[in-house]
Amino acid sequence: MNYYKLLIILILLISLFSALRVNTKLVEENPQPISDCTYLITILEKTINYTTTLDYAGELVAYIMLNTPIDPSLQALHRQVYKLIVDYYIAVNSTSISIDLLRDIYREIDTIVEYTRKLQACSQSPEVANVRARIELKLRDLKSRLEELITLHSTSSQQVSVYILEKIYEPSEEVYVQVVLLNNTCSVNTISLLYRDIIIETNSFNCNGSKCIAILKIPPANSIQNILEAGIVKYTIAIRGVCSGVEFKIYRFLSSQYKYPQLIIETPTTIIRGGILNITLYTTSSGVLSGVLLVKNSINETLLANITITNTPREYEIIVDKPYFTTGLNILKLCVNATEKTLPYCLEKSIIVEPKYPSVNVNTVSTSITLTGNIPLYIISASEFEYDVQVYLNNKFIAESKISNRGVETIVLSSGFSPLSIVNLTVIIRDPRGVLDNYVYSTLVISVNISTLLVILIGGSTLLVILREYERSLILSLRTSSMRVISRVKREVSGLLESVLKPYVLGLGSRVAELYYTLLRKLGIRLPHQYETLREHYAEAISSITKKNTIRELLWRILVLTERDLYSQRKPRIEDVEKLYKGVLSESSEE
């Protein structure tokens, strides 16, 4: 009871102090960099739209985005792109346009394309492809505008005129550049062909009077194959000269188209293992192309042949054997090297290889009842080749053999000593040449071992007969020992119960004791202490305090009845006790 009271006090105190701590402050988080690529590409499109129309809002957006943190993997490129846009605004808003700055911007404009490509890759929205296409279209406009600006601001129209035939040049084609010097203090020194920052060719002019001519050659495809993709490529021509002792640079732009070769592979879409695959290769492009023919599948990529392709179709015969071809999907890959006119290119075509198994027939019985528990296995070969045979019982390798050409092989397998067993029999037949696919035969076989069965039956019967003689004494001994255990358990449980229930047996909640205590309280007599018996209490507290003999006697009789109610099996009647109780009260009132 005391513990219970303390617990209540504790709860109340904890509650009181918790009330004082209701107001607590939360810690703030750190800012998050933008990683939503769809959002970033949309903002980029808005900025590019503003930029192409030279809207002032574009400059503001670019400035803000330049300092906005984004996902670390894109941050560097992001900053590069918005720095470029800011530079563009600076360049075009300047009173004296810097050709070098314009050229830098022109060179770097492809980083925006690269940024959009990366943003599309990290965006989950398929509609971003359209946004990217729109941005690239706008960037082409921006590039043209830059070319115009560079051309415009790099020409001294009063002093020098430059003439170049405007067309889309072929790779390796020569470009004639004519410069007319309008001022006799002017001269031209060199002419260079540039791709971004790379100087591809530098040449000098041949002058005849005021007319100077230089010839440049568009780079062949095989010389710049690693830096270009197919399509229109913009080259810059830079002309250096001097007018009145002051150096000048004039820029012009050239377009050249690079293409991939047109390759054609003709081959059946399906082929059976071991067969011959006829592949016809040719090109519709001009020239001779050299390259390789490969096959790739889920396992590896293997070279099949070195090839030469021309306009004339040429047929190659490939044996579809292992390990080059796997069963199922295989991809033929034709790769050709770059030529003067065409870029390197690979073309793929898929073929399905259907399996071909050795011509063998595997047989066994579904139920095998033998004296030794053996399972017979019959393998009949109709092929002229020799095959390897591997046998597994319950996935455990147990036998290996060879089956000769057009022969019959009988293998006897042992299922073990178990009288009845169900085994999983698997037979794998392999072609040692590696041409044909593995033939797998798998079945469940019930095997009965008669010998073991008989031994168990005889042994069991004998044991039964021997034990029968001792049956009675065995059962008796079992019963005796079990009774002993049960009685001990019963005794222990009852002892345990007795100790647990002792307080209840000894009168917890005795109505007689309760009446006796009530009576004591009403008479103003102190209650017995924990260390006192009722009789000690009577001698100590009652006999000395109560003067009237009748009350003492009545109380003594109630005490005796209380003791009987608490400890004796002969419980008193409650009516008798109540009668005595009332007697004490009436005597007390008279006193």
Can you tell me the distance from the alpha carbon of 426 to that of 193, in angstroms, rounded to the nearest whole number?
Answer: 72
Site string for other proteins, 74-113 (x = CB under 8 A): ----------------------------------------
Beta bridge partners of 257: 232
Beta bridge partners of 393: 396, 425
Q: How many residues bind other proteins (CB under 8 A)?
A: 49
Residues 230/171, Cβ–Cβ less than 8 Å? no
Q: How near is the Cβ of 113 to other proteins at its closest, in Å?
A: 19
Q: How near is the Cβ of 530 to other proteins at its closest, in Å?
A: 6
Can you tell me the distance from the alpha carbon of 559 to that of 546, in angstroms, rounded to the nearest whole number?
Answer: 15
Q: How near is the Cβ of 108 to other proteins at its closest, in Å?
A: 24
Q: How near is the Cβ of 278 to other proteins at its closest, in Å?
A: 49
Whether residue 323 has a cis bond before it, omega within 30° of 0: yes
Residues 424/466, Cβ–Cβ less than 8 Å? no
Binding of residue 11 to other proteins (CB under 8 A): yes
- The pair phi, psi for residue 415, each rounded to 5°, is -90, 0
CA distances from 63 to 48, 272, 585 (A): 13, 64, 104
Please identify, among the stretches 3-11, 158-166, 427-435, 577-585, the one whose residues bind other proteins according to the rule CB under 8 A.
Answer: 3-11
CB-nearer residue toward other proteins: 95 or 499: 499
Binding of residue 131 to other proteins (CB under 8 A): yes
Q: How near is the Cβ of 141 to other proteins at its closest, in Å?
A: 22
Can you tell me the distance from the alpha carbon of 591 to that of 546, in angstroms, rounded to the nearest whole number?
Answer: 10
Give the DSSP H or E segment for 566.
helix 549-567
Of 49, 161, 327, 510, the one binding other proteins (CB under 8 A) is 510
- Give the footprint of other proteins on residues 537-566 (CB under 8 A): 566
Please identify, among the stretches 24-32, 215-223, 345-353, 403-411, the one whose residues bind other proteins according to the rule CB under 8 A.
Answer: 24-32
574-590 helix and 549-567 helix, angle to the nearest 10 degrees: 160
Query: What Rg value do the Cα atoms of the chain yield, rounded?
Result: 54
Residue 160: half-sphere exposure toward Cβ, Cα within 13 Å? 28
Residues 229/203, Cβ–Cβ less than 8 Å? no
Site string for other proteins, 421-460 (x = CB under 8 A): ----------------------------------------
Q: How near is the Cβ of 39 to other proteins at its closest, in Å?
A: 4
Of 127, 229, 247, 384, the one binding other proteins (CB under 8 A) is 127
- Site for other proteins, rule CB under 8 A: 2, 5-6, 8-9, 11-13, 15-16, 18-20, 22-26, 28-32, 34, 36, 38-39, 42-43, 46, 57, 61, 64-65, 68, 125, 127-128, 130-131, 506-507, 510, 513-514, 517, 527, 530, 566
